[in-house]
Amino acid sequence: MLTLVKLLQSLVKALHSEGTPGQLAAGLALGSILGLTPLLSLHNAVVFALIVMLNVSFAGAMLGWALFVPVGFLLDPLFDHIGHQLLMHTPALTPLWTAMYNMPVVPLTNFNNTVTLGSLVTSLVLFLPFFYLFRWAVTRYRATIGERVRQSKWYRTVTASKLYNIYRLFRPEA
Amino acid sequence: MRIFRWRAIGPLLVFTLLAGVLWVLLADRIARRAAEEIGTAIVGAKVEIQKLHIDLTNGDVTVRGLTVASPHEALKNLFQADELTADVAVLPLLEKKVVIDRLAANGLRFGTPRATDGRVPGDPNASVSGRVMGEARDWAQRFQVPALQLATGKIDVGTLDPRRLSAIPAAGALSARADSSRRAWQTGLDSLRLAATIDSATATLTRLRGARATDLAALSDARRAIEQLKQARGRVTALERGVTGGLAALRAGVAGLDSAKQRDYAFARGLLKLPTLDAPEIGLALFAPSAVAQFQRALYWTQLARAHMPPGLLPRAEQGPPRARRSGSTVRFPREHALPGFLLRTAELSFQLDPTAPQPKRYAGRLTGLTSDPSLYGRPTLFEASAPAVTAGAMLDHVHATARDTAGATVQGVRLPLIQLPSLPIGLDPGQGTAQLGFALRGDTIRARWAIRSTHVQWSRDSAAQRSTGADLLWRTLSGISDLQVDAGVTGTLSQPRLSVRSNLDAAIAARLRTMLGEEAAAAERRLRAEVDRQVDPAIAPVRARVTALQTEITGRLAQQRARLDQAQKDLESRLRELTRIRLP
């Protein structure tokens, strides 16, 4: 229940943040990488650093992560298949994988795991489509029902919580 | 709009620092749990570590209190080690490769007891150890080990299926033939029309009695009637000939029923599960389970080594790491002249073989070249241990396409494990003795030998087991034997292995078996013969009676008809002679 409340809080805050639709969409798209791929992978440390360092919506990224974790679980068989095809059944890529496997640091990313590679490739391929889709969706939301939600009592309750203060530290800068 | 959020650098650094501190605090624990999980997955039994410490600055890893459970025995450890100290190369860790330049293992103890079952039932479809365990188990079940049934002194009488007895269908067929013959002969008799011929002859005789010698017509009729009677007798003779042949065939059929019954006795004797009385078979029955268990274990470890140390440089997939998400497969891409994923260059082992002895002896061994990529390392894995009374060595050569694995060990003066003789209420404690195991697997060609020698054998009798004369006799035979020599061997291929077992007990047991099982075997055979009789006789007896009755009936009827013909002819001829006073030709 608490998770659901927090998810709702993130959603509301993200949609009504001062950030532009593009910043929110970039955060969501980066968060989708965290959600779609196995979390404890080295590439996710890079993605997390990008979320923190780039001027994108942090709340959007957390929201994207939370939204795409169950999707990742559901699509694992597909990721496994994609990774298997890329690693085992694409001879043209074998020299690349061999070079990467014998390179320092790169093997720590678990790129040679079928689920990790399949999910990472899928999330990277979907990154731009997600970005444009989310940007269009946020723009439409703000232009239609966003203002009415902002005036509602429960929105003010949510934004008044202590978590909101922490969030403000990472809110996108105009 | 700015791209970077510079003020987030501080929190990011703090986060990174926090992660670093957590790593320092938890690295040992994480590594210990990872080592336990990986070890458990590889061995197929619980691997437990009391303490693990990583010192990356010096490249040292220290493991204390290592316990590896046996995947084959529930309450036994494969080995325990007091301390393992490894010099780990640090730079290869960046490539996720573990290269141990030197490992010192102290206080290794083999076969120690444990309180809980350490076996991990692996899924044959998901884990390598589970698959290999299943394959080794299947392989061990290929051996047909004869059962030695002495515990109850009973000989098993198999089920006698009446459908498999030949006399019953033969009796049915003969019955049908008898019915068919009876119908054919009845038809033959009817077609002779003897009654009409005899009636005609009787009428002629009546007329002849009133005729004179000059009544040529009457004389001519009489001669014609006599001729007809002769022809009828000829037909009767022909029918008689056919009947005689048919009856002979039916009698032969009845005799055939007796032969079929004899065959059924022989078949039933085949159902008697007589204990083997040959010495080599007795060796198999007594010691094959123990020997096969040794070979099965050796095969398990060899196949496990082949699975984790495969030859060649092709990419190969293995089960991914256990996690909440799907594990997937992790693919390794070995490259020539690169480091293997795992390499243990040298290990110095210090171990005890009989830790429960009052003064356990310490031995030393050396292991070199243990690697996950033998083709990259280019040399086989070698193990050697030698000390007074101990010689052990192993070579895992997976450098080339055809793997060659050999291992051999001879241990003298150690306490040999208890042996429970299968199906016998007798236990065998070899005491201290010599054990030898040789195992060679080249491709899928296996050659293995297991032998034990002891001169102080102790026998024990299971007091809870049911007592029997046979077991008593055998106990008296065995309990007087103090030496034990068992030699077992496996040759052939993995798909078609051949097992042989010999022991010095074989001949003694065989002689005793012959004495005590002779009378019981005869009694069991009598029981089976009675059962055959019970099932076959109700089918045979009616057929036999029917054939006899048919023979009596048909021969009687034929004789009767022949007699009537003869009498009619005789009367006619007599009257004719009176009239003509001449003898007819």
pLDDT in tens, A51-72: 989 989 888 898 899 999 999 9
List, as one string, the DSSP characters of B243-305.
HHHHHHHHHHHHHHHHHHHHHHHHHHHHHEEPPP--HHHHHHHHHHHHHHHHHHHHHHHHHHH
The pLDDT score that the predictor gives to residue B296 is 94
What distances in angstroms separate CA B33 from CA B36, B47, B105, one per listed residue? 5, 10, 20
Tell me which of A152 and B171 has the higher pLDDT. B171
Across the range B322-350, mean pLDDT stands at 90
Instruction: Provide the terminal-to-terminal Cα distance of chain B, rounded to the nearest Å.
Output: 153
B11 contacts on A by Cβ (under 8 Å): 52, 169
Across the range B21-25, mean pLDDT stands at 90
Question: Residue A54: which of B5, B95, B321 has the nearest Cβ?
Answer: B5
Across the range B174-180, mean pLDDT stands at 90
Nearest CA among B518, B529, B513 for reference residue B470: B513
Residues 2-41 of B with CB under 8 A from A: 2-5, 8-9, 11-12, 15
Task: Using a pLDDT cut of 90, give the percent of chain A over it.
Answer: 56
List, as one string, the DSSP characters of B383-431.
EEEEETTEEEEEEEE-SSSS-EEEEEEEEEEEEPPPEEPTTSSEEEE--
What is d(CA A126, CA A146) in angstroms, rounded to the nearest whole number? 26
Task: Using a pLDDT cut of 70, give the percent of chain B over it.
Answer: 91
The pLDDT score that the predictor gives to residue B584 is 47
pLDDT higher than threshold 50 for residue B152: no
What is d(CA B98, CA B339) in angstroms, rounded to the nearest whole number? 9
Does the pTM of the predicted model rise above 0.80?
Answer: no
If interface means Cβ-Cβ distance under 8 Å, which residues of chain A face chain B?
20, 38, 40, 49, 52-55, 72-73, 76-77, 79-80, 83-84, 87-88, 94, 97-105, 107-108, 110, 112-116, 118, 169-170, 172-174
Q: How many residues does chain A have?
A: 174
Q: How far is B41 from chain A (nearest CA, A)?
A: 18
Interface probe for B, chosen from A101, A105, A119, A122 (most Cβ of B below 10 Å), is A101
Question: Residue B3: which of A54, A104, A108 has the nearest Cβ?
Answer: A54
Flag the least confident range among A170-174, B174-178, B377-381. A170-174
Flag the least confident range among B358-367, B506-515, B537-546, B562-571. B506-515
Flag the least confident range among A57-71, A144-158, B10-24. A144-158
Q: How many residues does chain B have?
A: 585
Check if the beta carbon of residue B67 is closer than 8 Å to that of residue B58.
no
B301-331 pLDDT, tens digit each: 999 999 999 888 888 888 888 788 898 999 9
Across the range B378-399, mean pLDDT stands at 90
* Nearest residue of chain A to residue B338 (CA atoms): A102
Give the CA angle between residues A137, A143, A148 to the nearest 5°.
110
B111-121 pLDDT, tens digit each: 889 999 999 87
ipTM (interface pTM): 0.80
* Nearest residue of chain B to residue A118 (CA atoms): B328
CB pairs under 8 A between A and B: 108
Contact across the interface for A54 and B2, Cβ inside 8 Å? no
Question: Per-residue confidence at A6, pLDDT binned at 50, 70, 90?
Answer: low
pLDDT higher than threshold 80 for residue A173: no
What is d(CA B91, CA A95) in angstroms, rounded to the nearest whole number? 23
User: Exposed/middle/buried for B199, CB within 10 Å: 0-12, 13-18, 19+?
Assistant: exposed
B419-469 pLDDT, tens digit each: 877 767 788 888 889 999 999 999 999 999 999 999 988 888 877 766 666
A26 contacts on B by Cβ (under 8 Å): none
What is d(CA B261, CA B532) in angstroms, rounded to the nearest whole number? 8
The pLDDT score that the predictor gives to residue B322 is 79
Nearest CA among B372, B371, B396, B392 for reference residue B382: B396
Query: φ and ψ at B113, to 5 degrees?
Result: -75, 160
pLDDT higher than threshold 60 for residue B343: yes
The pLDDT score that the predictor gives to residue B275 is 58
